[in-house]
Amino acid sequence: MGYPPLMREGAPLIGVIGGSGLYKLDNLHVIKTISASTPWGSPSSPITIAKLDTAKGPITVAFISRHGPAHNIAPSNVPARANIAALKHLGVKAIVAFSAVGSLREEVRPGDIIVPDQIIDRTKGIRPSTFFDGAMVGHAMFGEPFDKQLSEFIVPHIESAINSFPDHINPSDVPRLHKERTLVVMEGPQFSTRAESNMYRSFGGDIINMSSIPEAKLAREAELSYALVCTSTDYDAWRMGEAPVTVEEVMKTLTTNASLSKHITASILEAVHEAVASQSVLTTAEGSMKYSLMTNHSHVSPSELYKLKYILPAYFPYDAPRWKGEHVNTEDHDDSTASEKV
Ligand SMILES: CSC[C@H]1O[C@H](OP(=O)(O)O)[C@H](O)[C@@H]1O
Ligand SMILES: Nc1ncnc2[nH]cnc12
C-alpha cells in the first residue's frame, strides 16, 4: 500500500515553475489540472498539465504558479516543499523555473535573460527549507545549487528561442543571454536598501530575487534536476542618481517579457524532454541523496518514513503506517476528463 499516483499515465517528465508575471502557459494546450495535496500541504496552485505537439508526438509539461495565479502568496510564504514534492510525486524529473530578478550589474540590462550557476543565500531562516526536519537527518550537496548539466543544456536552446521570438519590443536590441552568474536570494518582501544592494555587489552577486531559496535546495533533496531562467526587470537600488526599484518598474518589464518566457518554455521543451527521457545529459540529480541520509531508519517513526516515501520512494519503500491516529494527507485528484484551455 502506498500513495496513489497523481496521474495514472502520461505523467510529464518536465515541470515548469512560473514566477512573477508568468502565471499560466496559455501558449500551450492545457489538458488537465490536478489539485494535489502532499504531506507538506498544498502547492501554490493547481498543477496544470499542458501539451505541446511535436514532430515526434505530443509531450506534456506540469506547470505551477509560484505565487498562485492571483499572485497572493508572498515570497516568504511560498509552499516550496509542497510544490517540489507534488512535482516529484507526479513523475517530474527536471524543473525549469522562471524568476524575475533585479540586476546588480550594468551589463545585465532590464529585459535580459540570465541562467545563473551560483546562489548566495540571504534568506533569514524563516522559510521551511528542508524535507529532513524530522528524525531523519539528511545533508544534500549544494556546492552547485543548480543542475549544471541541465543549465548548460538549456542555454543554447534559450539563445535560439530569444532569436526566434517574433515580438521583441526593439528588434534591433534583443535581450542578451547571460550565464555563469551569481544570484543573491534575499528575504523580502521589501526591496533592498542602497547599502545592501552595494554590499551584494561587493559579495560578487550579479542578480537578486526573493524566491529561489528554498526552491533549489528542496529540488536537490528530492533528486530533481533544477535550472533557473531569470528575467532581469530592474537595476535594484545600487545605481546612484537613479531611483531604487519599484514594483511598477518590475511589472512593466514583466508584462512585456511574459510572452518571451512562454516562448522560451515552448521552444526548449522538446529538447529538454528528449534529453531527460533518453537520460543523455541529465544524470546527476538521481541518486545524489543516496549517501546524504544519516539516520538509521530504526530510529525514525513509521509516519516520518512514510512521509519521505512521497518524494524518495527508492530510499523509503515503506507501507503506510496504519495504527490509530496516523494520517498522511494525500488524495488522488486525477480527473482525466478535465480538459480546458486557460
Ligand atoms: C514582483 S517583484 C519581487 C518578486 O518578484 C520575483 O518573484 P519570482 O522570483 O517568483 O519571479 C522576486 O523573487 C520576488 O518574489
Ligand atoms: N530588485 C529586486 N530585488 C529582489 N527581487 C526582485 N525581483 C525583481 N526585482 C527584484
The pLDDT profile of the chain, 342 residues, written as one tens digit per residue, is 689 999 988 899 999 999 999 999 988 999 999 999 999 999 999 999 999 998 889 999 999 999 999 999 999 999 999 999 999 999 999 999 999 999 999 999 999 999 999 999 999 999 999 999 999 999 999 999 999 999 999 999 999 999 999 888 777 789 999 999 999 999 999 999 999 999 999 999 999 999 999 999 999 999 999 999 999 999 999 999 888 888 888 888 888 788 899 999 999 999 999 999 998 777 789 899 999 999 999 999 999 999 999 999 999 999 888 654 444 443 443 443 333 332
Q: According to the annotation, is 157 in a ligand binding site?
A: no
Q: What are the Cα distances from residue 42, in Å, to 62, 79, 128, 313?
A: 15, 7, 14, 20
Q: According to the annotation, is 194 in a ligand binding site?
A: no
Q: Is 114 in the pocket of ligand 2 (CB under 6 A)?
A: no
Cα of 101 to ligand 2 centre, how many Å? 5
The answer to whether the pTM exceeds 0.90 is: yes
For a substitution probing ligand 2, which of 67, 209, 242, 246 has the most ligand atoms within 8 Å of its CB? 209
Quick check: helix, strand or coil at residue 170? Answer: coil
What is the distance between the alpha carbons of residues 303 and 319, in angstroms, rounded to a whole number? 10
Q: Is the dihedral of CA 156, 225, 22, 101 positive or negative?
A: negative
* Fold designation for 14-277: Rossmann fold (3.40.50)
Q: Is 233 in the pocket of ligand 2 (CB under 6 A)?
A: yes
Matching residue, cell 545549487:
145
Helix (H) or strand (E) holding 7: none
Q: Which residues are catalytically annotated?
A: 234, 236
Q: Is 230 in the pocket of ligand 2 (CB under 6 A)?
A: no
Q: Is 87 in the pocket of ligand 2 (CB under 6 A)?
A: no
Residue 261: burial class (beta carbons within 10 Å; 0-12, 13-18, 19+): buried
Closest CA to 97 of 210, 261, 222, 260: 261
Q: According to the annotation, is 20 in a ligand binding site?
A: yes
- Residue 299: the pLDDT is 95
For a substitution probing ligand 2, which of 210, 238, 247, 249 has the most ligand atoms within 8 Å of its CB? 210
Q: Is 102 in the pocket of ligand 2 (CB under 6 A)?
A: yes
- Residue 86: the pLDDT is 98
- Residue 324: the pLDDT is 44
Q: Which atom of ligand 1 is nearest to the CA of 209?
A: 13
Q: Which atom of ligand 2 is nearest to the CA of 186?
A: 4
What is the distance between the alpha carbons of residues 297 and 69, in angstroms, rounded to a whole number? 39
- Residue 122: the pLDDT is 98
Q: According to the annotation, is 234 in a ligand binding site?
A: yes
